[in-house]
A = this chain, B = another copy of it.
Amino acid sequence: MNNAIEFLKTQVGKDATNSPSPLMQWLNPILISVKEDNLIFEYEIRKEWLNPSGSLHGGITAAIVDDTIGATVFSFGEPSAYTTINNVVDYFSTAHEGQTIIAETQTIKKGKKIINVQCEIWNNSKARLIAKGYSNLLRIEKQI
């Protein structure tokens, strides 16, 4: 295990106060599970996350997809950095204020230059798939 995944394992059951991502601190999920290539987070839908119809805004869903995929790549603990090339989200159903939703990531491909990671957004019981997203990320050498 690398240092990054070890750090994440210490955060299981906790909120995102210690996250290096300011956006994740604001979204403030609870980290539920940490496995290799696979993270699970839980979010409570807040008022600022709603669309004009009063349900979960697709923009927040996209933000959660992108942010949890970033955390998954962080968990690899690689010396290289990754930059997101694209982010695709397909929307299937919705959720409402105060409800709890689950984001679960899975690494699909670790290429030499390109990594592909997906994220599923589920309702609390994981009976209903709310959205599914995918990103390609490019490995870049870290500046020293």
Contacts and interface: CB of A to CB of B under 8 A. Distances in A.
Interface residues of A, number: 49
A116 B92 CA distance: 9
A85 B93 contact: no
Given A88-B87, A134-B90, A59 B48 contact: no
A137 B113 CA distance: 12
Contacts of A132: 108-109, 116
Interface in A73-90: 74, 81, 83-90
A70 B135 CA distance: 22
Contact of A25 (B48, B83, B108): B48
Nearest to A20: B52
Given A59-B87, A85-B91, A90-B134, 5 more contacts: A23-B60, A88-B134, A92-B109, A134-B134, A138-B138
